[in-house]
């Protein structure tokens, strides 16, 4: 039986290795497929970036023509300001960030940055002007230093350490036995969602783009992690044109404007205070989320007193 178990074990090992390889290839094809959706116009100029003012004008978009996702969405993110998009699951929030990055082309309307339509400029120049902190960061199977340096390959070690500190992950990294040389990713140290997001923030700090897109993780984070991430984001988004795709309302309270998206249309818009006064969809989402947080807090206290 032992004679059989050893080769079986080995086959299991090989299978897992192949399976892992396939996952990487699948991810690569996913990326390539997204890239292939849009092409540069012949002779397209580079984006000339100034302050990075964003304008969405009557944007209509569908992944599948049978199912419209955005139905005439108009809003502006003035240079240096922060606008947050909130709304029920499936409302089309993340789609807005993908369209600004031009992963897809819209069917009607326009999206401009400093007056230039994102379809008229090279994708390379567009994407180098935007720092994207996605919902779920995929890390390279390499060191933490490599993963952060990806934001700006010419960065020095000192700049990497500094970026990690700004992103509130510096201490976590220096406490690891191999520090910044720790291997991460599928084949290395597995980082939590919050840690991965902070690595992505450090990367963006190094890139220092004029425009920032923050697509918040949907998954619940514990309060400390959430506060650390929020502190990092506050620093990074200061004086930068920032679009926040928010799943938790606690992170949007200070936004210059909040857009409430529902079923692909803007249902409400305004500051946090104005939206609460309005007593509509935003106010009820806020109250629901506050009740949920209070219930969680209560449960924690009960557990601690046991």
What is the closest distance, in whole angstroms, from the C-beta atom of residue 59 to ligand ATP in the complex? 13
Residues 234-253 touching ligand ATP, rule: CB under 6 A, are 247
Binding mask 52-71 for ligand ATP (x = CB under 6 A): -----------xx----x--
Least gap, CB of 90 to ligand ATP (angstroms):
4
- Which position among 93, 102, 149, 198 is part of the footprint of ligand ATP (CB under 6 A)? 93
Q: H-type helices in the chain, by residue range?
A: 2-36, 93-100, 123-129, 144-149, 157-166, 170-174, 193-207, 223-237, 272-278, 281-305
Per DSSP, the three-state class of 164 is helix
Interface pick for ligand ATP out of 7, 32, 42, 89 (rule CB under 6 A):
89
Q: CB under 6 A: which stretch of 90-98, 178-186, 224-232, 284-292 binds ligand ATP?
A: 90-98
In degrees and rounded to multiples of 5, residue 62 shows phi and psi of -140, 135
Taking CB under 6 A as the criterion, which residues in 22-41 touch ligand ATP?
A: none
Please select the residue that binds ligand ATP; options are 9, 23, 181, 218, rule is CB under 6 A: 218
Of 2, 76, 66, 21, the C-alpha closest to 241 is 76
Q: Distance (Å, rounded) from C-alpha 279 to C-alpha 258?
A: 14
Q: How far is the CB of 22 from ligand ATP (least distance, A)?
A: 21
Contact 112, 54 (CB under 8 A): yes
3-state class percentages of the chain: helix first, strand second, coil last, to nearest 5:
45, 20, 35
Q: Are 201 and 133 in contact (CB under 8 A)?
A: yes
Alpha helices in 212-280 (DSSP H): 223-237, 272-278
User: Counting Cβ atoms within 10 Å, is residue 278 exposed (0-12), middle (13-18) or buried (19+)?
Assistant: middle
Task: Kindly determine how many residues on this chain lie close enough to bind ligand ATP according to the rule CB under 6 A.
Answer: 13
What is the number of residues in the chain? 306
Q: Whole-number minimum distance, CB 69 to ligand ATP, in Å?
A: 5
Considering the complex, state which of residue 94 and residue 116 has its C-beta at the smaller distance from ligand ATP. 94
Residue with tokens 């992505």: 200
Binding of residue 10 to ligand ATP (CB under 6 A): no
* Minimum distance, C-beta of residue 196 to ligand ATP, in the bound complex (Å): 17
If DSSP codes are grouped into helix, strand and coil, which group holds residue 226?
helix
User: Which value, to the nearest 10 degrees, does the dihedral of the CA atoms of residues 236, 242, 243, 244 take?
Assistant: 30
Nearer to ligand ATP, 210 or 264 (CB): 264
From 72-80, 91-99, 142-150, 270-278, span contacting ligand ATP (CB under 6 A)? 91-99
Closer residue to ligand ATP, CB minimum distance, 205 or 221:
221
**Is the Cβ of residue 120 or residue 265 nearer to ligand ATP in the bound state?**
265
Q: Which residue in the set 49, 53, 83, 95 belongs to the binding site for ligand ATP (CB under 6 A)? A: 95
Site string for ligand ATP, 122-151 (x = CB under 6 A): ------------------------------
Fill in the DSSP letter of residue 182.
-
Give the footprint of ligand ATP on this chain (CB under 6 A). Answer: 63-64, 69, 87, 89-95, 218, 247
């Amino acid at each position: 039986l032992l004679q059989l178990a050893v080769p079986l074990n080995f086959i299991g090992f090989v299978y897992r290795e192949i399976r892992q390889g396939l996952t990487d290839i699948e991810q690569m094809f996913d990326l390539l497929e997204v890239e292939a959706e849009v092409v540069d116009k012949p002779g397209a100029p580079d984006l000339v970036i100034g302050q990075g003012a964003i304008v969405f004008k009557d944007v209509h978009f569908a992944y599948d023509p049978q199912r419209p996702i955005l139905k005439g969405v108009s809003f502006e993110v003035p240079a240096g300001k922060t606008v947050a998009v909130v709304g029920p699951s499936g409302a089309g929030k993340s789609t807005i960030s993908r369209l600004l990055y031009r992963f897809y082309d819209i069917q009607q309307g326009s999206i401009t940055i400093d007056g230039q339509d994102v379809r008229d400029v090279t994708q390379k120049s567009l994407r180098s002007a935007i720092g994207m902190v996605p919902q779920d960061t995929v890390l390279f199977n390499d060191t933490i230093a490599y993963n952060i340096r990806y934001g700006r390959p010419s960065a020095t070690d000192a700049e990497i350490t500094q970026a990690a500190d700004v992103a509130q992950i510096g201490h976590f990294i220096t406490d690891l036995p191999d520090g910044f040389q720790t291997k991460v990713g599928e084949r290395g140290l597995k980082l939590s969602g919050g840690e991965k997001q902070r690595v992505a923030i450090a990367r963006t700090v190094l890139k220092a783009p004029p425009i920032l897109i923050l697509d918040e993780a949907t998954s619940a984070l514990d309060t400390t992690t959430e506060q650390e991430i929020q502190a990092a984001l506050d620093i990074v988004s200061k004086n930068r044109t920032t679009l926040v795709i928010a799943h938790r309302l606690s992170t949007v309270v200070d936004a210059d404007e909040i857009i409430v998206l529902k079923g692909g249309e803007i249902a409400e818009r305004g500051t946090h205070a104005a939206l609460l006064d309005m007593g509509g969809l935003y106010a009820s989402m806020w109250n629901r989320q506050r009740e949920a947080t209070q219930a969680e807090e209560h449960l924690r206290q009960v557990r601690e007193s046991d």
